[in-house]
């Protein structure tokens, strides 16, 4: 009898310890794995599962593009290597210190594209893009919660910028706010400013305006939408859009390009929901050599020295380097002088 009493006492003592240990155990998420080199690819992502794409070790200044298609709502998440374990250990990950909010899109479905720039605040780091089709205890109902399988197609890669690219990144803009895409910057009249937009969320507008107009726009005081350059408007941008705008009527002022998520103008976005849009701005500069002379070239005396200058050539975008000016002064097909000016 004494022996059974001892066994029963030991059992009573061990039971609460086991219960405490079980209740404190956290789940560990195990995702399917892929990598950047394997893209493009597609998956059937089952309910309550995830896909982790290794983007490799990336350095400051590098940019990546992503194109995705999903037939049901999923969450798109981005983590550096030092915090992806927070997500996979089912800890609270919905904060800027854990995920990279610029490349987070919750409850996403359909087709979309965005570009992401590696932050400048860290050394070369390994990064992971996660496609999430789970409900998490700490979600509090936010984001997609799974519930069904999702067919996913994903492509991505490192961007090699085109020449004369001024800006290429995603802009997250709250309702009633704006984000400067690029500026102030100068261009020659006749330069084509090419604006390529790809929207992941919202219906923002994209404006081009002179610096003086921006000085009224930025504090939103005494600003009239008529101050923007209407010929460069991209209103209600809710899909992929492209506009090649020929710079004109700038009065020599520098320009500013903004993503606008404020109400109006007529035909524009309402500015009532969060916007996420990638804007790429590239230039096709004017190439128009202009030669001038202090002397009147209509009447030149024999033996008179003449100075020719190409310094008035349109070159606001540095499209012609100083080494790009050369002169064939004797018409033999061979360049005789290099530089902006020559003497004859």
Classify residue 1: in a domain, yes or no: no
pTM of the predicted structure, to 2 decimals: 0.81
Given this model, what pLDDT does residue 112 score? 95
Same structural domain for residues 179 and 141?
no
Given this model, what pLDDT does residue 308 score? 78
E strands, the chain, in order: 32-35, 41-45, 49-58, 63-80, 105-117, 125-133, 150-158, 165-173, 178-185, 192-201, 205-210, 241-246, 255-260, 275-284, 292-293, 307-309, 326-327, 337-338, 341-343
Same structural domain for residues 38 and 140?
yes
Given this model, what pLDDT does residue 194 score? 97
SS3 139: helix
Given this model, what pLDDT does residue 10 score? 38
Residues facing 128 on adjacent strands: 54, 79
Most distant CA atoms of the chain, gap in Å: 134
**C-alpha dist (Å) from residue 300 to 295, 296, 306, 307, 337:** 8, 7, 8, 12, 21
Same structural domain for residues 196 and 262?
yes
Same structural domain for residues 84 and 126?
yes
Given this model, what pLDDT does residue 27 score? 61
Q: Are 68 and 135 in contact (CB under 8 A)?
A: no
Same structural domain for residues 43 and 153?
yes
SS3 87: helix
Same structural domain for residues 195 and 83?
no
| 284, 308, 327 - which closes a domain | 284
Given this model, what pLDDT does residue 25 score? 38
Nearest to 78 by CA among 113, 42, 116: 116
Name the strand (E) or helix (H) holding 20.
helix 2-24
Write the DSSP symbol of residue 302.
T
Mean pLDDT per 10-residue run, the chain (344 residues)? 42 37 54 96 95 96 96 96 93 92 94 94 94 88 89 96 94 96 94 96 96 91 85 94 93 94 89 96 87 70 72 75 77 77 70
Given this model, what pLDDT does residue 250 score? 86
Same structural domain for residues 306 and 273?
no
Write the DSSP symbol of residue 12.
H
Write the DSSP symbol of residue 225.
G
The count of structural domains within the chain is: 3
Measured distance CA(188)–CA(297) in Å, rounded = 27
- At residue 299, φ and ψ (nearest 5 deg) are -145, 105
Classify residue 27: in a domain, yes or no: no
Q: Domain residues for 101?
A: 32-158
Q: The dihedral of CA 260, 265, 267, 272: what is its sign? A: positive
């Amino acid at each position: 009898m004494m022996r059974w009493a001892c066994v029963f006492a030991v059992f009573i003592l061990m039971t609460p310890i086991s219960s405490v240990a079980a209740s404190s155990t956290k789940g560990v998420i195990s995702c399917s794995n892929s990598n950047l080199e394997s893209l493009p690819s597609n998956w059937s992502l089952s309910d309550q599962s995830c896909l982790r794409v290794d983007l490799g070790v990336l350095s400051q200044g590098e940019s990546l593009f992503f194109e995705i298609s999903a037939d049901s709502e999923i969450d798109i998440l981005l983590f550096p290597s030092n915090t992806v374990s927070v997500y996979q250990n089912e800890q609270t990950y919905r904060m800027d210190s854990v995920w990279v909010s610029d490349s987070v899109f919750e409850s996403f479905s359909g087709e979309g594209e965005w570009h992401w720039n590696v932050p400048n605040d860290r050394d070369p780091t390994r990064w992971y893009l996660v496609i999430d089709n789970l409900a998490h205890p700490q979600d509090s109902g936010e984001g997609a919660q799974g519930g069904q399988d999702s067919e996913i197609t994903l492509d991505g890669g490192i961007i090699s910028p085109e020449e004369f690219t001024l800006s290429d990144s995603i802009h997250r803009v709250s309702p009633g706010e704006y984000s400067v895409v690029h500026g102030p910057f100068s261009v020659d009249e006749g330069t084509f400013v090419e604006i390529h937009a790809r929207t992941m969320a919202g219906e923002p507008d994209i404006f081009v305006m002179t610096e003086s107009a921006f000085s009224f726009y930025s504090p939103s005081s005494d600003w009239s939408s008529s101050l923007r350059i209407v010929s460069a408007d991209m209103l209600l941008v809710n899909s992929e859009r492209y506009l090649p705008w020929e710079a004109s009527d700038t009065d020599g002022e520098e320009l500013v390009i903004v993503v606008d998520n404020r109400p109006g103008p007529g035909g524009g976005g309402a500015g009532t929901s969060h916007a996420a849009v990638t804007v790429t701005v590239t230039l096709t500069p004017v190439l128009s050599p202009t030669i001038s002379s202090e002397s009147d070239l209509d009447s030149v005396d024999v033996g008179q020295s003449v100075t020719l200058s190409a310094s008035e050539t349109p070159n606001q975008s540095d499209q012609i380097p100083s080494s790009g000016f050369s002169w064939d002064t004797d018409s033999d097909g061979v360049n005789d002088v290099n530089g902006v000016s020559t003497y004859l």
